[in-house]
């Protein structure tokens, strides 16, 4: 009970309760040719969710354009490798009325694959905790490398977006410590997503997706910032009907003198 009360004291002093990031549903789509790329909205999308899209198009295409009207996706990374492939990673904060599907266009007819994942609890004003990192391997390789990045916010999630230049590859193994959010590659272009939570800010460490075929590969490292990391936050005002503002001491200890609770600082 004392620990609970001290934790409440910490909340009182800090004044905020932070939301945690979570992963929701996803969708995939692919085609053997064409310039029109589309994907159905993942199930359960509500206002404030963050949608991550990951697209790969075969070697005849060199660009991917957003066709989602006045609320386009924000580009995180676009890799254009002539005669190899083009990939696009982007995000969109869901509004109150989202379309049933999303559309993109490549500049040449080619095989393509697209993946979209819904994330909750992400900072909608500043979704990316730090800049993304790309690792492109032009030598035939069985591995997509997602390089280490250093998060700056506790509770950030690190994503590893991987692609191999093959329409028939399968995943041999995923990165250690990550959850395979989308690990069922398409029959045309393989676009997979892994993620993990970084409870404490710092270096995420290198991550690798290993394929059963060797070819040109790319890995994109992305960090999502949790909501309220910048200082918004819901304010805890009462517990069991008792105003926390009226609580001055706990077991004779003045709340103002509490500096840490279970290793968490109050300032």
Across the range 93-102, mean pLDDT stands at 96
Write down how long the chain is.
267
The predicted-structure confidence for 153-202, as pLDDT tens digits, reads as follows 999 999 999 998 877 788 889 999 999 998 876 667 888 999 999 999 99
Distance CA 170, CA 164 (A): 10
The Cα angle at residue 184 between residues 31 and 19, in degrees rounded to 5: 110
**pTM as predicted:** 0.80
Cα–Cα distance for residue pair 243/259, rounded to 1 Å: 21
Of residues 85 and 37, which shows the higher confidence score? 37
If residue 10 lies in a helix (H) or strand (E), which one and from where to where? helix 2-14
CB 114 within 8 A of CB 39: yes
pLDDT-derived band at 10 (thresholds 50, 70, 90) equals very low
Tens digits of per-residue pLDDT, 32-69? 999 999 999 999 999 999 999 999 998 888 899 999 99
Q: Mean pLDDT over residues 121-145, rounded? A: 92
Confidence band of 127 (pLDDT split at 50, 70, 90): very high
CA atoms within 13 A on the CB side of 184: 6
152 vs 131: CA distance, rounded Å: 11
Contact 147, 204 (CB under 8 A): no
């Amino acid at each position: 009970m004392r620990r609970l009360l001290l934790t409440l004291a910490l909340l009182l002093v800090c004044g905020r309760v932070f939301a945690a990031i979570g992963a929701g549903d996803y969708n995939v789509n692919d085609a053997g040719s064409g310039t029109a790329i589309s994907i159905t909205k993942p199930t359960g999308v509500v206002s404030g969710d963050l949608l991550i899209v990951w697209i790969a198009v075969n070697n005849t295409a060199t660009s991917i354009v957003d066709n989602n009207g006045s609320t386009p996706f924000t580009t995180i990374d676009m890799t254009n490798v002539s005669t190899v492939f083009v990939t696009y990673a982007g995000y969109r904060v869901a509004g109150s009325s989202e379309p049933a599907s999303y559309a993109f266009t490549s500049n040449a007819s080619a095989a393509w694959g697209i993946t979209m994942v819904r994330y909750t609890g992400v900072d909608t004003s500043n979704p990316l905790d730090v800049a993304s990192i790309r690792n492109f391997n032009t030598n035939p390789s069985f591995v997509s490398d997602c390089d280490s990045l250093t998060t700056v916010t506790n509770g950030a999630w690190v994503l590893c977006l991987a692609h191999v230049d093959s329409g028939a590859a399968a995943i041999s193994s995923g990165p250690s410590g990550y959850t395979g959010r989308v690990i069922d590659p398409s029959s045309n272009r393989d676009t997979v997503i892994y993620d993990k939570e970084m409870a404490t800010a710092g270096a995420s460490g290198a991550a690798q997706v290993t394929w059963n075929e060797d070819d040109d590969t790319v890995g994109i490292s992305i960090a999502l910032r949790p909501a309220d990391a910048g200082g918004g936050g819901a304010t805890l005002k009462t517990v069991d009907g008792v105003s926390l503002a009226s609580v001055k001491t706990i077991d004779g200890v003045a709340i103002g003198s509490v500096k840490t609770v279970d290793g968490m600082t109050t300032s």
